[in-house]
Amino acid sequence: MPEKYGPYQAEFRFVFFAPPERYEETIAFYRDALGLAHIGGFGESAAGMRGAFIQAAAGVIEIISDPTDSFLRRQVLEPGQSYRPAQGGHLLIEVEDVDLSFERAQRHAAPVTQPLTNWPWGFRDFKVTDPCGNIVCLFSRIISP
């Protein structure tokens, strides 16, 4: 890879646009209700675009608020649309202790769409919905005796 692009890091990101009125609430949901680290972002531009980076296991969730009709926004949203949740999928994030994560989500009144469940494929998980309508599943691997 040409040096001008920097070193290859194999980063994974899930990027979505949050409506401006839900931007701060969405960051707080991932940080407070799910206990994920807010690791940075970019400040507000002259046009009002801003973004936040949330650490999610080995990946990053990038939340963007953009009230303008920018090129990036037009790639994922229809004209006049402020947000569209992912269709037919959900975020799946491995955590060290899913039971503690579930307790934390409940303390913060996160909307649980599936309670803690043990699955035959060795996962214990639960699902919540973020303020923008994205389904988020937190899981831990079940250790068999």
Q: Give me the DSSP letters along 31-63.
A: IIIS---EEEEE---TTS-EEEEEEETTEEEEE
Q: Tens digit of pLDDT for each residue in 6-23?
A: 776 778 899 888 888 999
**pLDDT above 80 (res 69):** no
Contact 126, 117 (CB under 8 A): yes
Which residue type, as a one-letter code, is found at position 31?
A: R
Q: What is the CA radius of gyration of the chain?
A: 17
CA-based angle 60:134:82, to the nearest 5? 100
* Per-residue pLDDT band at 2 (split at 50, 70, 90): low
Share of the chain above pLDDT 90, in %: 60
Question: Please, which contacts does 109-113 make with residues 24 or more away whose CB atoms are closer than 8 Å?
Answer: 109/33, 110/29, 110/33, 110/34
DSSP string, 102-120: HHHHHHTT--EEEEEEE-T
pTM: 0.85
Query: Quick one: CATH architecture of 9-141?
Result: Roll (3.10)
pLDDT value for 145: 59
The pLDDT assigned to 31 comes to 97
- Beta-bridged to residue 64, according to DSSP, are 17, 51
> How far does the chain reach from its first CA to its final CA, in angstroms?
45
For 19, the token pair is: 């409506």
Give the model confidence (pLDDT) of 93-116 as tens digits: 999 999 999 999 999 999 999 999
